[in-house]
Structure 1
């Protein structure tokens, strides 16, 4: 498994090798969120790389697993993604080429493509689930449950303010 993110012993100013103080607590918070997201992305990329999939592809597979047998139209998948990809068609195409999803034209609208996870995609997720759960525990384990609840509330407030 990949090495966990840095232990936090350095400040954000030190990590970014910035010599001047932040303009405001808001700037520091925004850069801190971006830096943390980057570190988490790097950590998960290393976890998924041996299986040959990206974080976005993993996200699509999880969304399709949750959708069940009915599957989802391509644009509905994009709307549910953690980081909505403009190139959702290409993401689905790569998963299809890898034999992890099936695609069908919609019944009502032939222009619509409905995607479903297949047995190979489900098997891949089943293999990844324990390592992903462990990685989530490693990352979130840096905080107490109370801190995680507070963090979730703060992040929800920020997301709501952005629309």
Structure 2
């Protein structure tokens, strides 16, 4: 990926700017590819993330605050994401018996089955995205990104 070609500039950019633009372009490419992989399931990346968080709860309900804390992409519209998953039958929502102000969300069997199918497609997409990297290079890249 040549940053200068993509943003159509012939001007030499400062290394810091070029690096950050490059990271943004790579992020956008990854986001688009992963989003396209989930299109057949009619689920967004954020909805996929919510389902994975709920699966990680191992049958224990989560509330909106828990989902917000654990989301890869932080956002304020978690309620809307849950509503969409509820409409698909992928999650159930109920009022907490001990605290009526708290809403508990749990993944359904249908949601778990759909997520298992999504996992396969996303794993294949992720493998394709990083196919030009060796394991050592991926470890090094992660080490460098940890410095942020």
Structure 1 residue runs of 5 or longer lacking an equivalent are 1-7, 159-163
Runs of 4+ in 1 over 6 A off after TM superposition: none
Using CA pairs under 8 Å that are at least 6 residues apart, name the structure with larger relative contact order, 1 or 2: 2
Q: Give TM-score scaled by structure 2 length.
A: 0.94
Q: Give TM-score scaled by structure 1 length.
A: 0.86
Give the whole-Å Cα distance in 1 for the aligned partners of 2:120 and 2:41. 14
- In the TM superposition, what is the alpha-carbon distance from 1:107 to its structure 2 partner? 3.4
How many residues align? The count is 148
Instruction: Give CA deviations for 1:37-93 in whole Å, capped at 9, x if unaligned.
Output: 100111011111111111110111111111111021111111111101210111111
- In the TM superposition, what is the alpha-carbon distance from 1:118 to its structure 2 partner? 0.4
Structure 2 residue runs of 5 or longer lacking an equivalent are none
- In the TM superposition, what is the alpha-carbon distance from 1:131 to its structure 2 partner? 1.4
Q: Does residue 57 in structure 1 map to residue 47 in structure 2?
A: yes
Give the whole-Å Cα distance in 2 for the aligned partners of 1:155 and 1:108. 42
Alignment of 1:66-81 (within 5 A): 66-81=56-71
1:118 to 100, 104, 108: 108
Residue 31 (structure 1) aligns with: 21
**Which secondary structure state, in structure 1, belongs to the residue aligned with residue 59 of structure 2?**
helix
Alignment of 1:107-146 (within 5 A): 107-146=97-136
Instruction: Give CA deviations for 1:90-128 in whole Å, capped at 9, x if unaligned.
Output: 111111111100112223321111111101110111112
Q: Does residue 14 in structure 1 map to residue 5 in structure 2?
A: yes
**Would the aligned equivalents of 2:91 and 2:108 in 1 still touch at CA under 8 Å?**
yes
CA RMSD of aligned residues (A): 1.2
Give the whole-Å Cα distance in 1 for the aligned partners of 2:61 and 2:24. 32
